[in-house]
Amino acid sequence: MSKIQELLETVVFNIIGRFKAELPRILAANVRMEKIGPPLGGKVAKSAL
């Protein structure tokens, strides 16, 4: 994807939507996204969903 997204949730939602559109036979999937060193106002190694 070439669009810049502000939230990891939006990126994951878009990935799931694309899977559903392009692979309709898939019944279930897990998507895990991690951001290394997120800007959360402190020392955080990573954020994941």
Look at residue 32 in the predicted model and tell me its pLDDT.
87
Look at residue 1 in the predicted model and tell me its pLDDT.
54
Look at residue 9 in the predicted model and tell me its pLDDT.
86
Tokens of 23: 């692979």
Identify the three-state secondary structure at position 36.
strand
Span 3-36, pLDDT tens digits: 888 888 898 899 899 999 999 998 888 888 888 8
Dihedrals φ, ψ of 15, to 5°?
Answer: -65, -45
Look at residue 23 in the predicted model and tell me its pLDDT.
94
Is 80 exceeded by the pLDDT of residue 38? no
Q: Is residue 39 very low, low, confident or very high in pLDDT (cuts 50, 70, 90)?
A: confident
